[in-house]
Amino acid sequence: MSVTDELLANNAAYAETFDGPLPLPPSRRLAVVACMDARLNVYAILGLKEGEAHVIRNAGGVVTSDEIRSLAISQRLLGTREIILIHHTDCGMLTFTDDGFKDAVRKDTGIRPPWAAEAFSDLDDDVRQSIARIKADPFVPHKDAIRGFVFDVATGKLNETV
Amino acid sequence: MSVTDELLANNAAYAETFDGPLPLPPSRRLAVVACMDARLNVYAILGLKEGEAHVIRNAGGVVTSDEIRSLAISQRLLGTREIILIHHTDCGMLTFTDDGFKDAVRKDTGIRPPWAAEAFSDLDDDVRQSIARIKADPFVPHKDAIRGFVFDVATGKLNETV
- CB contacts of A46 in chain B (<8 Å) are 7, 10-11, 14
B-proximal residues of A, 94-133, CB under 8 Å: 95-96, 101, 104-105, 108-109, 111, 113-118
Annotated binding site of A: 35, 37, 88, 91
Q: Measured between CB atoms, does A30 come within 8 Å of chain B?
A: yes
- CB contacts of B18 in chain A (<8 Å) are 155-157
What whole-number distance in Å separates Cα of residue B95 and Cα of residue B106?
18
> Environment class of residue A141 by beta-carbon count within 10 Å: exposed (0-12), middle (13-18) or buried (19+)?
middle
pLDDT averaged over every residue in chain B: 97
Q: Tell me, what's the ipTM? A: 0.98
Distance from B137 to chain A by nearest Cα, in Å? 10
Whether A90 is covered by a domain: the verdict is yes
B142 contact partners, CB below 8 Å, separation of at least 6: B75, B80, B81
B24, B141, B156 member nearest A15 (Cβ)? B156
pLDDT tens digits, residue range B64-95?
Answer: 999 999 999 999 999 999 999 999 999 999 99
Whether A1 is covered by a domain: the verdict is no
B26, B37, B47 member nearest A11 (Cβ)? B47
Mean pLDDT, rounded, for A80-107: 98
pLDDT at position B64 is 98
- Domain housing B152: 22-160
Compute the C-alpha angle A153/A159/A160, nearest 5°. Answer: 145
A3, A41, A118 member nearest B43 (Cβ)? A41
Residue B48, domain CATH: 3.40.1050.10
Number of domains making up chain B = 1
Whether A140 is covered by a domain: the verdict is yes
CA distances from A27 to A115, B35, B71 (A): 34, 17, 30
Nearest CA in chain A to B68: A115
Res. B1 pLDDT band, cuts 50 70 90: confident
pLDDT at position A20 is 81
Q: How many A×B Cβ pairs under 8 Å?
A: 253
Per the CB < 8 Å rule, is B11 touching A45? Answer: yes
Give the helix/strand (H/E) hosting B160: strand B158-160
Distance from A131 to chain B by nearest Cα, in Å? 15
Residue B34 DSSP class? E
Q: Measured between CB atoms, does B29 come within 8 Å of chain A?
A: yes
- CB contacts of B7 in chain A (<8 Å) are 30, 46-48, 84
Whether B91 is covered by a domain: the verdict is yes
pLDDT at position A1 is 81
Let me know: does A13 contact B150? Beta carbons within 8 Å.
Answer: no
> Environment class of residue B5 by beta-carbon count within 10 Å: exposed (0-12), middle (13-18) or buried (19+)?
exposed
A4, A55, A111 member nearest B36 (Cβ)? A55
Whether A15 is covered by a domain: the verdict is no
Q: pLDDT exceeding 70 applies to what percent of chain B?
A: 100
What whole-number distance in Å separates Cα of residue B46 and Cα of residue B44?
5
Whether B88 is covered by a domain: the verdict is yes
Q: Measured between CB atoms, does A69 come within 8 Å of chain B?
A: yes
Residue B162 in this model has a pLDDT that exceeds 90: yes
Whether A5 is covered by a domain: the verdict is no
Can you list the alpha helix ranges (DSSP code H) found in chain B? 3-16, 42-46, 65-78, 98-109, 123-136
Please tell me whether B37 is known to bind a ligand: yes
pLDDT tens digits, residue range B12-70?
Answer: 999 999 998 999 999 999 999 999 999 999 999 999 999 999 999 999 999 999 999 99
